[in-house]
A = this chain, B = another copy of it.
Amino acid sequence: MQDDGFFSKDAYAKLTGIEVVATGPGTAKVKMAVEPKHRNSHGTVHGGAIFTLADAAFALASNSRGIPAAAINSSITYMKAARDGVLYAEAEEFAVNPKLATYSVTVTNDEGEKIALFQGMVYRKSPKHA
């Protein structure tokens, strides 16, 4: 399966403990069980870990069409600190044009509470004969 091959090369996602839950055309869902290694100086889950979780869903969704996509811009809004349990990130495609595409990713905890909202944009090099 294409997405598994793609994701299996993602060393930083692996370091962070991220696993793929599901992928589809323009979508992806990933998860991360919170561990002590994810904490920041305040004792909650680090913004970088939450961002990386969302970014992994974004990368899977945006590379699901067979054309390599490079992230050019992302923003994240944190709505609730995460402390433990399992976090999920689910990416949806908002819009696609020939060169650019935009995704939104929702991060939730295992009680279904909204942790963060992420928005990302990619640039795609056109394939030579397309």
Contacts and interface: CB of A to CB of B under 8 A. Distances in A.
Contacts of A12: 37-40, 45-46, 48-49
A56 B47 CA distance: 9
Contact of A95 (B40, B52, B68, B80): B80
B51 A79 contact: no
A66 interface: no
B11 A38 contact: yes
A74 B94 contact: no
A48 B37 contact: no
Interface string A1-40: 0000011011111011000000000000000000011111
A114 interface: yes
A72 B15 CA distance: 25
Contact of A80 (B7, B76, B97): B97
A59 interface: yes
Interface of A: 6-7, 9-13, 15-16, 36-43, 45-49, 51-52, 55-56, 59, 63, 68, 70-81, 94-95, 97, 99-100, 102, 104, 106, 114, 117, 119, 121, 123
